[in-house]
Amino acid sequence: MPTELLTKEHVLSAPLFPQSDRKIEVFAREVYQKGKENADIVLFLQGGPGFQSPRNIDELDWVKELTKRFRVVLLDQRGTGRSTKVGPETPQQFDSAESLAEYLSHFRADNIVRDAEALREQVFKVKQWYLLGQSFGGFASITYLSMFPQSLKAVMITGGLPPLPHHDVATIYQRLLDILAARNDRLYKTFPQLAASINHVAELLSYDLPDTGVLTRARLRDIGTMLGRTNGLQRLFYLFDDPFFDSDKNSLCWAFAKSIISVPNFDTNPIYAVLHESIYCHNFASNWAADHILQQHNAFQNDNRIYFYGETIRRAMFEEYFQLRDFQAAADILAQKEDWPVLYDVEQLADNKVPVVALVYEDDFYVDPHFSMETAGAISGCQVWKHPTWQHDSLRTKGKEVIKGLLKRLGA
């Protein structure tokens, strides 16, 4: 019989930032097996930014594997899930774009880590715990390793070693767009008949979507976020299997339009759009880096073939996506903000004593493996587990194998 997973819910009041009088709530769900109530804890840091921890825990092999030996704490990072939310409703709570931007500026990895540290001290009252960081959760793990290394027994990272602070945002996106272009080339090589179908669909776009925005040619390209997932090429191909309302292919059907707008999470999880480029900022501004590089990159200016985007935030999205429109002015302010705190302490990482193992996907669509390997080399004692074919979501799709491999390399 399958082992039953038990849960406890925890809520903590935390300051918006250190010394702030404004409080937010932080929610975490503890998952464990009977008899493991006092086991060591693995704190899971979710990918994103701007996504809550997983809810379908009974379906996650990596949770089942970890709970054989550990308690797992699933943190809803500030702004997500049952922690104090940032949603399409948030701008109505502020009287100016400046005050909204200032509020949102406190939802980066440094304060997420402070929330986690408060949970460790005040709720779980353990001296140390383990980290498991997926994607952006790996970025936050390196921030944790920089700020509070004494609180960590070991750190496990899957697809989430960030670029070091000396890399500016434009350089990071230039490399990422080269990766996106190569993945698009692979898509059309795998499905050569797809190009004509996509071009025809793009010619017919005319949907004004109530409460959702406008389905433009550029917004169609945002579905490229799926190209980095396991079987992502196949999934995108089948999205275009039946896009037309009539047999003459003169109009698109609503079901197709709805499937397209349901792929990205930019409007349902606004932090994902508003703060995405800020995760790469350390005392410098992002200045809509991805948008500028997209307009300069030859592959994405090809009129004969549509190249899909990835985690590339465009300024026009804040008009195309209805639920992002009220964030537009604040997003402009944040794109010009230069005084972002540095998120990684390079000297501390070079002197690191905490066991770290990082799974680096050599074919990663979202996190440049070149930068990941450079960062691994800057963390004393960091073990790298490179995989040539697994995709960025392999913690979800190959969870048991991933956890066993990470723990084996830790000797845990």
Nearest to 172 by CA among 271, 281, 51: 281
Which residues neighbour 192 within 8 Å (Cβ) at sequence distance 6 or greater? none
Containing 7, the helix (H) or strand (E) segment is: strand 5-15
Which residues neighbour 241 within 8 Å (Cβ) at sequence distance 6 or greater? none
Going by their DSSP bridges, the two strands 23-33 and 71-76 should be labelled as: antiparallel
Please tell me the distance from the alpha carbon of residue 17 to that of residue 32, in angstroms, as a whole number.
Answer: 31
Nearest to 87 by CA among 211, 223, 272: 272
Which position among 105, 392, 393, 394 bears the catalytic label?
392
Please tell me the distance from the alpha carbon of residue 130 to that of residue 72, in angstroms, as a whole number.
Answer: 9
Burial of 45 (0-12, 13-18, 19+ CB in 10 A): buried
Radius of gyration of the chain (CA): 21
Whether 251 is catalytic is no
> Cβ distance 24 to 16 under 8 Å?
yes
3-state SS class at 361: strand
Amino acid identity at 348: Q
Which position among 53, 135, 151, 394 bears the catalytic label?
135
Please tell me the distance from the alpha carbon of residue 161 to that of residue 45, in angstroms, as a whole number.
Answer: 13
> Cβ distance 265 to 42 under 8 Å?
no
Whether 392 is catalytic is yes
Which position among 21, 248, 303, 339 bears the catalytic label?
339
User: Which phi-psi region, left, alpha or beta, contains residue 84 (left: φ > 0; alpha: ψ -120 to 50)?
Assistant: beta
Structure tokens at 85: 């939310």
What amino acid positions are annotated as catalytic residues? Answer: 135, 339, 392
